[in-house]
Amino acid sequence: MSASAGDREPGVLHQDNAKEDSSGPPCAGENSKHDSVCTGSSEIKSRAVVKYCAAPPPTSYALLQEKTDLKLPPANWLRENPQLGSAGTTVLGSSSKSKPFSSFGMAYEFIDCIGDDVDVVSDSENIKKLLKIPYSKSHVSMAVHRVGRTLLLDELDIQELFMRSSQTGDWTWLKEFYQRLIDQKWQRKKKSKEHWYQKAILSKFLYYSINGDGAAEPVPDNPNDGEEQNEAEEYSSSWPTAFTSAASDTEESDAPKQGSVSMDSQFALGQVTSVPKEQNLPMLFDEGENSQGLRNDFVRNIMWTFEDIHMLVGSNMPIFGGGRYPAVSLRLRDNNKPINILTGIDYWLDNLMCNVPELVMCFHVNGIVQKYEMIKTEDIPHLENSNFSTRVVKDIAQNILSFLKSNCTKEGHTYWLFKASGSDIVKLYDLTTLCEEAEEEKCQNPFTLPVAVLLYRVASNLMLKARQNRKHYGTIRTLLLNCVKLLDEERHPQIIASAHYMLSELFQLDEAPEEDEGESLRAGGSEDSYSDEDGEEEEEELTEDSDENGDENGSYGSCSSPQDDSKAVAVIRSVGELSVPEKYKSTHQIRPSGVFPVSLDKEERCRHVLSYVLKGLKAVDGTIQKESDLPAADPNTPIPLKYEDRSAIGACAAEQGISLLLERGQSTVHNQKHPTRSGMIPGSWQHRMKLQLFLKASKAYYVLSDAATNLLKYGRALRYIKLSLQCYDAYCSVSGTPHPHMLQFHSQCLSLCGDIQLMLAQNAHNRAAYLEEYSYQTKEDQEILHSLHRESSCQAFNMATDLAMDPEYQLFVSSKCYEAAYELVISEALKDQLAQVLKRLGNIRNEMGVYYMNQAAAMQTEKEVKKSVSIAEQEMWKKSFAFFEKGMKDFEAIGDSTNTALLLCNTGRLMRICAQAHCAVSADQSRGEFSPEEALYYNKAIDYYSRAMKSLASRENHPAVWDSVNWELSTTYFTLATLLQDYAPLSRKAQEQIEREVTEAMMKSLKYCDLQTESARQPLYQYRAATIHHRLASMYHSCFRNQVGDEHLRKQHRSLAELHYSKAVCLFLSLKDAPCELLRTLLERVAFAEFTMAGQSSNAAKLKSLTGAVELMAETRCAFLLIHKELLEEQIELREPDAAESAESRDVVGGSASGLNLQEVMKLIGVFEPSFSFLLLQLIKLMTTMKRKPSNKDEELLKTYRNVYSKLLRAEKNAPLLRRVELHIELLQQLTPQTGSDDTHSR
């Protein structure tokens, strides 16, 4: 017995509409002898939770008096009643026929449950029909659809389908297939008068039971007319013709109304929310209309858990209050017909699903009420003539679910579960595959669109969850790809465009997927695999079986046609198998049906995104009619990405072009009422969708550009950022006032564009390769560009993204991009990006300052004759200084002391270049005196370097920058002192003043020579310190020689010269690679000793001075040893194959392969030999003329000196350099005391 389709009764666990009851249902009763139906610890577990209930609170049923004649209509009959709902408008009372899309209506409403949480969604009538298969000879015909883990079951009324086929020509392939299947001509069987009689008295019984007091309505005089009316009602098709074509005038009443398929507004991506009528889309998307099966028409929706099976079922069974329990179900039975097992299972399952603990049975004879009987739900399986095992029903349910899940594997396919009347064989066909084989359009399957929309809606719902959990990505991708496969782009462009946009959203562009998420990103939709023991056996020929009992809906026979039997996806050979426990059992996990690509690099992900964006754009463009204003473009013809040499373009023209960079940050479309360039109407779904697709494409190209920049592929990077900005330009062309986050993205694009132009300027040597990368275009990029040009000329950012040939212009464009990004950031108060943009702005200003500084230095070098400073040089200085000043302000604004110090350091260098340009030149082109302008600029440089040191505060903050600034400061002081010393401005200053200034500058330079810290510069610092000491010693030596009168000052100069000479010698000795400097210093020191001796009168003092001078001369042996070593290395290299070539090149420069200056060595030896000879001669004379008697030691020394002097005199003056050096080493060795200390300086 079935429930009325329109009852409005409360569920047992009644809550407000659309609210789920989280409390558990009460137990249906005490355990019975064999089977129990209790949610507690019993053998059969059943739990029902009402998720939605449209019925009013329960009211008690009216207990009819005995002998009440149900053939007479009550006063309120056929009047609409809230307790019976739509059942009040039909004499059918309750229809056993399900609507073909009832499961979709429930799925749309409870979208959260679909795909994972629920196993089955269906009308309760379909569930009951499936569970009665082993007990019933009736036919079964159901459509099965899979969405993730969920199966949607709907009645597939072949009889009604074929009636439509004869009118429209649809489904002829299925009709032919079915006729072959049953091997007979299909014929329609009319329902008996008894059928309508039973329906009528049931309807009257329900109206009597609600105790209505309305006026009685007359019963139709002609019962046949009533039957025809009823039949017409029943056969008025719920099959929507609008799925394939617009409903004709004669079919308007039968065509389905537009159902409610509301897309989540939070996912505002232009989803299916409104469809223009001219597209002739199925009327499926308007709210509030009765869609005759595409909406949830059930009185209550229940989440029913039967054992381990979770089902979302729809029920219309009337529920009344009364008895010992708060809810009962009412049934009407003919007293002369006992309850059979099928009726018992019907009643038991209805009560379980609705959680009704009791059944009230009203018995009648020929419509006259006899008695009432109350039966507990758990007692129904044990009624006389209706005894059945609940455990068997449980096994049937589990086996059927396992069978369907293991065989209905393809999402989007329509499966047909069919059992002929009187047959024991159940077959499963894939109608989608059969339809494709029949070469008919997929849209002719009336389930296609509802399935596609459901797949889309489940994906949309999961998309919101995917924000928190990326494990859904694979499932979403599979759902959307299957959705797109089902739809025809010409009929459903909106869903297709939106699906492709969502597919593009699955690929994260801003972050790389984590490695440990690989498994979690695989497609959901993985199901248990169920093994059918007989599943792989060959299909056997089935014997014919006649349907003796017939069927109330028509004549369905069974056949055994092998060719049609082979088309079945799976077969249950005997319905008896369904009663065998775990006949179809879960054995292992199936692999995911689709795997989300998690191991893709950024470029691959972006390419996937762009391919989906392009498909979405094509779907949208196909719906826009107006194309008259557009140029006829061939998608196969590339749109050139032009490059220009901007060297001749003035800054003024460029300034005008750069203003466009900021225009797109403002409201570009002031009047949103007018159509866009392509004819789109603002606010339409096409408009919203294009906005999102353009933006997605822009972001994808941005990521591609960023990735190419990291790979140093700057030509490719510029091409991608150009495409990104063109997409953004098109977005702005069709958009109104941009959202602040869009301006943030605009700022990021401009910043990246500035980065790329900067890198192109710095890598000018590779320009040919960059040009080739920039000019390349894929077909996909061309097609996207053509779609962009439908809405915009895409010229706004050309100036910023063209590949210029002039580095200066590239730097200029880069700075303007950063400036435009800065203006956007401060206008929208995007504080999180301000520091980043300011750092970029400071950096480009530093680069431009360095560029103009180098240009000025180059001008200075190229001058053939030193003249006064040119105007062009001064202009370069001004530009460079202005950029350095701006850059410092940018870095100071964000508290970046390190970069501030670097810019101060660069400004110091600029001041030194200015100083070099102001050096005085005499008439004969020789270097003149140190000018005041030079002093001014060098002091300015020192000031900037000092500020840089102050900005850094300490070396710990940034050691590398600190060391660099420290070195530059030391160098500037040293250069200043050297120029003062070498080109003393004696015409302006006194000698003493100059000496003081030189000493002060030298000591400050020495102060910044970091001799302690181990670094790459340590040897340079040591060399500089040695040079400073040498120069100071030379200066004091000169002062000592020239000073007359002030004996105290002479002594001071003498001691200072001695001190600095000794320090210089120590430092040069430690370097091991400055033999010439060491030799020169020692020779000067010997000369200083000789000069000191000249002023002495006593022979003893002279002897002491001469002995000291000879000892100093002996120290030169260390320098000669180093020279000898380098000369030997040079000789070894001369034996190499390229000796002649290298020797020739060295002769030109006067050097050696080891870096030794041979000319300098020869010059120093020319000083050494006469000085050495003079000292020995003077020493021999003095020791010979001594009045006192010489000691043995003195005699030995004298003999040594004579021997050395003799060899020195006899030495060949034209001997090779190496031999002369070896002789000097030998002679000096003889003078060295034999204490072993000389070994330390040996080779």
Q: Which of 549-558, 764-773, 1170-1179 has the lowest mean pLDDT?
A: 549-558
Residue 210: per-residue pLDDT:
81
Sign of CA dihedral 1095, 1099, 1105, 1109: positive
Indicate the pLDDT class of residue 438, thresholds 50, 70 and 90: low
Alpha helices in 919-1013 (DSSP H): 932-952, 959-982, 991-1007
Q: Within a 10 A sphere around the Cβ of 209, how many other Cβ atoms?
A: 23
- Tell me what percent of the residues of the chain surpass a pLDDT of 90: 20
Q: Where does 763-806 have alpha helices with state H?
A: 767-775, 779-789, 798-801
pLDDT tens string 724-737: 999 998 888 888 66
Tokens describing residue 184: 């007979």
Dihedral sign computed on CA atoms, order 194, 200, 204, 209: positive
CA angle at 588 for the pair 584 and 589, rounded to the nearest 5°: 115
What is the structure's pLDDT at 1138?
A: 55
Under a CB-based contact definition with an 8 Å cutoff, are residues 316 and 268 in contact? no
Instruction: Say how far apart CA 174 and CA 171 lie, in whole Å.
Output: 5
Cα of 611 vs its chain's centroid, Å: 16
Q: How far is CA 1241 from the centre of its chain?
A: 66
CA atoms lying within 13 Å on the CB side of residue 1138? 5
Cα→Cα distances 393→302, 396, 698, 886, 1056, Å: 20, 5, 58, 85, 116
User: How far from 680 is each of 308, 621, 690, CA to CA, in Å?
Assistant: 52, 9, 10
DSSP code string of 186-253: ----PPPHHHHHHHHHHHHHHHHHTT--SPP-PPPS-HHHHHHHHHHHHHS--S-GGGTSPPPGGGTT
pTM above 0.75, yes or no: no
The 10s digit of each residue's pLDDT in 186-211 is: 455 667 788 888 888 888 888 888 86
Q: Indicate the helix (H) or strand (E) that contains 478.
A: helix 473-486
Quick check: helix, strand or coil at residue 363? strand
Query: Residue 144 pairs with which residues in a beta bridge?
Result: 153, 415
* Angle of the 390-407 helix axis to the 124-131 helix axis, nearest 10: 100
Q: What is the pLDDT at residue 213?
A: 42
pLDDT of 1011 over the 80 cut: yes
What's the 3-state SS for 683-695?
CCHHHHHHHHHHH
1145: amino acid identity, one letter? S
Which pLDDT score, from 0 to 100, does residue 122 have?
Answer: 92
Q: Which long-range contacts (CB under 8 A, 24 or more apart) does 1003-1012 make?
A: 1004/973, 1005/970, 1005/971, 1005/973, 1005/974, 1005/977, 1007/970, 1008/966, 1008/967, 1008/969, 1008/970, 1008/973, 1009/970, 1010/963, 1010/966
- Going by DSSP bridges, is the β-strand pair 368-376/426-430 parallel, antiparallel, or unpaired? unpaired
The two beta strands, 382-383 and 386-387, are: antiparallel
- pLDDT tens digit string along 744-778? 888 889 999 999 999 999 888 888 899 999 999 89
At 518, the pLDDT band (50, 70, 90 cuts) reads very low
Sign of torsion, CA 747 749 751 754? negative
Identify the CA nearest to 814 among candidates 802, 826, 831, 829.
802
Within 10 Å of residue 176's Cβ, how many Cβ atoms?
Answer: 12
- Of 465-469, 576-580, 613-617, the range with the highest mean pLDDT is 613-617
3-state secondary structure of 277: helix
pLDDT at 944 over 70: yes
Least confident of 578-582, 752-756, 928-932: 578-582
Reduce the DSSP state of residue 661 to 3 states and report it. helix
**Residue matched to tokens 């007091």:** 213
The pairing of strands 120-123 and 150-155 is: parallel
Residue 467 scores a pLDDT above 70: no
Pairwise CA distance, residues 1006 & 1000, whole Å: 10
Span 806-830, pLDDT tens digits: 889 999 999 999 998 888 888 776 7
- As a whole number of angstroms, the distance between CA 1124 and CA 1200 comes to 24
Nearest-CA neighbor of 181 among 542, 589, 439? 542
pLDDT digits (tens, 9 = 90+) for 1056-1082: 988 999 999 898 888 888 888 888 988
Please state the rounded mean pLDDT for residues 785-796.
84
Given a cut of 90, whether residue 1151 has pLDDT beyond it is: no
Place of tokens 């949208």: 620
**Helix (H, G, I), strand (E, B), or coil: what is residue 731?**
helix
CA distance 381 to 36: 10
Q: Identify which of 1001, 884, 878, 1024 has the alpha carbon closest to the alpha carbon of residue 942.
A: 1001
Average pLDDT score over residue span 397-422: 87
Q: pLDDT-based confidence at 83, cuts 50/70/90?
A: low
Residue owning tokens 């040594």: 1200
Residue type, 491: R
- What's the mean per-residue pLDDT of the chain? 75
H or E element at residue 144: strand 140-147
What is the full DSSP assignment across 1215-1236? S-HHHHHHHHHHHHHHHS-SSS
Burial class of residue 578, CB neighbours in 10 A (0-12, 13-18, 19+): buried
Enumerate the β-bridge partners of residue 927: 921
Q: At what angle do helices 685-710 and 493-505 cross, to 10 degrees?
A: 30
Alpha-carbon gap, residue 176 to 173, rounded angstroms: 5
Name the strand (E) or helix (H) holding 712. none
Q: What is the pLDDT of residues 619-666, one digit of tens each?
A: 988 887 544 444 445 555 555 554 444 444 444 444 444 455 555 544
Express each pLDDT in 329-365 by its tens digit. Answer: 889 998 888 888 999 999 999 999 998 888 989 999 9
d(CA 662, CA 888) in angstroms, rounded, equals: 25
Residue 858 CB neighbours (<10 A): 10
Residue 916 CA to residue 908 CA, distance in Å, equals: 13
Predicted confidence band of residue 900 (pLDDT cuts 50, 70, 90) = very high
Alpha carbon 879 to its chain's center? 41
Query: For the purposes of burial, counting CB atoms within 10 Å of the CB of 173, is it exposed (0-12), middle (13-18) or buried (19 or more)?
Result: middle
**Which pair of structure tokens corresponds to residue 1188?**
């006192």
Who wins on pLDDT, 157 or 842? 842
**CA triple 704-706-709, angle to 5 deg:** 110
Higher pLDDT, 576 or 770: 770
Whether the Cβ atoms of residue 316 and residue 96 lie closer than 8 Å to each other = no
Q: How many residues does the chain have?
A: 1243
Helices 1018-1042, 991-1007: inter-axial angle, 10-degree rounding: 160
Weakest mean pLDDT among 434-443, 509-518, 781-790: 509-518
Q: How far is 331 from 318, CA to CA, in rounded Å?
A: 10
- Single-letter code of the amino acid located at 638: P
Give the pLDDT mean for 469-475: 74
Taking CA atoms, 1032 is separated from 828, 881, 990, 1060, in Å, by 61, 35, 18, 7
CA dihedral 377, 379, 384, 386 (to 10 degrees): 50
- Looking up tokens 């009765």, which residue turns up? 290
Spatial distance between the Cα atoms of 407 and 524, rounded to a whole number of angstroms: 18
